[in-house]
Amino acid sequence: MKSAGTKSSASPVGEDVPRIDARQKVTGAAIFADDIQFGDSLLHARIKRSPHPHALVRKIDTTRARALPGVKAVVTGEDFPRHIGLYLQDRYIFCRDRVRYVGDPVAGVAATTPEIAQKALDLIEVDYEVLEPVLDPELGTHAEAAILHPDLGQYVVAGFIFPKPGTNISNHFKIRKGDVVGAWGRCAAIVEHRYRIPHIQHVPIEPHVAVARVEPSGEITLWGSSQSPFAQRNLIAQSMGISQSQMRVVAPLVGGGFGSKAGVSMEALVVAIATKVPGRSVKLLLTREEEFYTAFVRQGLVSHFKMGCDAKGRLLAMENVFYWDGGAYTEYGVNVTRAAGYSSSGPYEVPNIKTDSYCVYTNHPVGGPMRGFGMPEMHAGLEQCIDELALKVGMDAVEFRRINCLKAGSPLPTGSKMHPTGLPVCIDKAADAIGWGKKPAASAPNKRRGKGLALMWKAPAMPPNAGSSAWVELAEDGTVTVGVGGQEIGQGVFTVAAQMAAAALGVPYESVRIASPVDTRYSPYEWQTVASRLTWSMGNAIVNAARDAKRQILGTVGEAWEETPEDLDIVNGVVISYKTEKEIPLKNLAVYGLPKPNDQGWRGGPVIGRGAFMPTYVTGLDPETGQGERSVVHFTTGAQAVELEVDLDTGRIEILRGVSAFDVGKAINPAQVKAQMEGGFVQGMSSALFESLNLKDGVVRSPSFVDYRIATTADAPRDLQSFIVEEAQDDGPWGARGIGEHSMVPTIPAIANAIYDAVGVRLEGPPFTAEKVYLAMLEAGVVK
């Protein structure tokens, strides 16, 4: 921190960020849902769900359920006629005329015990007319496929989403840049591949849970495990036909999200049920089985890649087609499709590009946001093709990437230019750390060792006007409380928020507290805790709020000392003058102000700083070409490399080493940044080697940890290295941008490329299980 008599120039904005151990904890005024005493009046909700992937609802008879003692409410779609959705309002809270996936909510019950509620579900009789389902996204685009949303053309939709009424395509995003057809003739090497990426689940340690209460006045309070309290307030209020001011969402700390608790999923159900029992609180908790198929899942993807380069390895053209399995409702999936479209070149300079990215309705579980937001799925195939193309043109894969990767000023697929990026440095750090070009001997005669590397890029996928706000308030003793609307989901954002507030205001980190829980009645607005945007967007709001508070304090002291604020500063909680070397602590000053001479009154008073941030420069893109001035706020780039061994007898893969290098702009908390890199690598490895929702005829056959495998500490490599690259973001606080999702993006293709390096086989898609790898080796003649 700064000391009296000198001005610091250690950071781009003149303030030093406290560098602390990530284990330090911000202890705000936390109130957790478990502490709220609902008492004996608490009711328990359960949901009657569709057993069919696709069917018309002919009749729902709730007579017997309503007559069951202990049942206080039974609701159906007849009670709630409005649609709900974030980017595309395409679903009812409860189904009305049709069900579109196994698990679609048909009716809800509130009872005095969970057991009675469950028994009541069995008494609800539903008459279905079963219809032919759509179970493949590529086939779902065909003219002969059943239309799952006949009213698609009437849904409310964001202006940057382009549905195709009369089809199952809820968004078609296009890139048309250069002359792709003409470029193929100039290519010395061309590769084409098709990949299939399965659905997977987020599997947060805490399942979805929410409690709702509707007051006799009509005001609604929702307590929920949520990444999106303000979005929930807005969307649920709209669907209920009430003012957002009547809807309050309280969101305690979240036990894991990874995107599954963004937007609205089960929360609207419990609010709807609570409207039927005013004055009573209603709780809905998803079982682990329900978590697997009724909460958001990561969308499946069928991708087709074609790319070519000249004899010197310079990329000339790409033609990509993505069929996203959006599931039954695509309120969030449509934006995943868009993000994949404008990122479809990968982090490479490609002069000629044609991309068609389709979000397709199917009768699978609802696709939604997951860590990486479509980028792991898209990069999984693209980065394997880059390796294949390098091999075909006779060039080292790392050198091929060095030649073609984005640099500052590189043209992007949407027509804008790349901002400064440290991607070339990331490539070198990852390649050097993994020992690229050196191949140590395998650990046993029956094993083969390989190395692989992959790049990535990702922008915050969000509306152009997603905003953040914050407030900073000082207490009598000079301690600071910071109000934010962003959510702590285990990523450490409250720690970083406290660091930034402390640095911008000039107080010790230990004196800063974060007001919690997030409460839409009292907390400042935040769009959502998604898109790896909080350090950048909410961070800017915090810095602005702290500077506003600082301006008030220095104005008061400057007036009292007859000095200009420019000669004053706050250092370690003390106002100092660089001119006269006077000093005064913030204690009492920040609330009571300062007395005027000769008992002639007071100046100053309670200090509350306010700050906001919203990007104002993101422009629209042409719906036919995808071209525009600026499609996103920025990109985070990086590289990962792996070393692994394949057992020739079993096909089992062991990850020996993992290396990550990412350009984060500025690491506000280096320990937490590295933790994100390590955690993302392991989660990406899990999706590469183990995870897949086993879907058959629209039914999830693996809705438990017995059948759904995720990586454990035993699977993680013993050697994980993380490298921080810092090429400052021009509008980030201290140059920072996000890293939460990005470290999961390149892991699948890095592992796939290492498998090929080891045994010379490629699979259509993950998971790269021992059985699939062994059968591929058998088919290729690697083993007999």
The average pLDDT across 411-435 equals 98
Evaluate whether 618 touches 648 at the Cβ level (below 8 Å): no
Same domain, 309 and 214: no
The average pLDDT across 274-289 equals 97
What is the set of active-site residues?
A: 741
**The two three-digit tokens of residue 647, written as one number:** 């057992």
Side chain identity at residue 618, one-letter code: V
**Domain assignment of residue 287, yes or no:** yes
DSSP string, 488-541: -SSS-HHHHHHHHHHHHHT--GGGEEE--SEETTTSPPBS-S-TT-TTTHHHHH
Reported as a single tens digit per residue, the pLDDT across 504-555 is 999 999 999 999 999 999 999 999 999 999 999 999 999 999 999 999 999 9
What CA–CA distance (Å, rounded) separates 707 from 714? 18
- Provide the pLDDT for residue 39: 83
Same domain, 608 and 647: no
pLDDT at 30 over 60: no
**Domain assignment of residue 353, yes or no:** yes
**Rg of the chain, C-alpha, whole Å:** 28
- Provide the pLDDT for residue 37: 60
Evaluate whether 286 touches 311 at the Cβ level (below 8 Å): no
- Provide the pLDDT for residue 31: 32
Which of these three, 570, 596, 613, is where a domain ends? Answer: 613
What CA–CA distance (Å, rounded) separates 455 from 752? 13
- Provide the pLDDT for residue 38: 82
Same domain, 545 and 689: no
pLDDT at 663 over 90: yes
- Looking up residue 104, the CATH number of its domain turns out to be 3.90.1170.50
Reported as a single tens digit per residue, the pLDDT across 144-190 is 999 999 999 999 999 999 999 999 999 999 999 999 999 999 999 99
**Domain assignment of residue 72, yes or no:** yes
- Provide the pLDDT for residue 540: 98
- Provide the pLDDT for residue 358: 98
Same domain, 433 and 546: no
**Domain assignment of residue 154, yes or no:** no
- Provide the pLDDT for residue 40: 85
Task: Say what the pTM is.
Answer: 0.95
Same domain, 418 and 307: yes
**For 394, what's the count of Cα atoms within 13 Å in the CB-facing half-sphere?**
4
Which of these three, 613, 644, 666, is where a domain ends? Answer: 613
Same domain, 530 and 548: yes
Q: What integer best gives the mean pLDDT of the chain?
A: 95
What CA–CA distance (Å, rounded) separates 711 from 706? 13
Reported as a single tens digit per residue, the pLDDT across 607-662 is 999 999 999 999 999 999 999 999 999 999 999 999 999 999 999 999 999 999 99
The average pLDDT across 397-417 equals 98
Same domain, 587 and 694: no
Contact residues for 309 (Cβ-Cβ < 8 A; gap 6+)? 187, 188, 189, 315, 316, 389, 393, 400, 404
Same domain, 629 and 726: yes
Same domain, 40 and 24: no
Evaluate whether 360 touches 324 at the Cβ level (below 8 Å): yes
pLDDT at 13 over 50: no
Neighbours of 332 (CB within 10 A): 29
Which of these three, 563, 592, 613, is where a domain ends? Answer: 613
The average pLDDT across 374-402 equals 98
**Domain assignment of residue 66, yes or no:** yes
- Looking up residue 546, the CATH number of its domain turns out to be 3.30.365.10
- Provide the pLDDT for residue 691: 98
pLDDT at 35 over 70: no
Reported as a single tens digit per residue, the pLDDT across 338-372 is 999 999 999 999 999 999 999 999 999 999 999 99
Neighbours of 521 (CB within 10 A): 12
**Domain assignment of residue 171, yes or no:** no
**Domain assignment of residue 224, yes or no:** yes
Same domain, 660 and 575: no
Confidence of residue 488 (pLDDT cuts 50, 70, 90): very high
Same domain, 438 and 304: yes
Same domain, 122 and 271: yes
Contact residues for 635 (Cβ-Cβ < 8 A; gap 6+)? 347, 406, 418, 419, 421, 457, 458, 459
The average pLDDT across 262-276 equals 97
**Domain assignment of residue 526, yes or no:** yes
- Provide the pLDDT for residue 15: 58
Q: In the β-sheet with 125-130, what is the strand arrangement from edge to edge?
A: 98-99, 55-61, 125-130
Reported as a single tens digit per residue, the pLDDT across 725-736 is 999 999 999 999
Burial 105-128 (b: 16+ CB within 10 A, else e): bbbbbbbbeeebbebbbebbebeb
- Provide the pLDDT for residue 16: 62
- Residue range(s) defining the domain that contains residue 249: 33-131+207-254+261-294
Reported as a single tens digit per residue, the pLDDT across 88-112 is 999 999 999 999 999 999 999 999 9
Number of domains in the chain: 3
DSSP string, 272-334: HHHTTSTT-EEEEE--HHHHHHTS-EEPEEEEEEEEEE-TTS-EEEEEEEEEEEEES--TTHH
What CA–CA distance (Å, rounded) separates 306 from 318? 6
What CA–CA distance (Å, rounded) separates 141 from 358? 9
Residue with tokens 């205001």: 505
Residue with tokens 């009369």: 166
DSSP letter for 569, please.
E
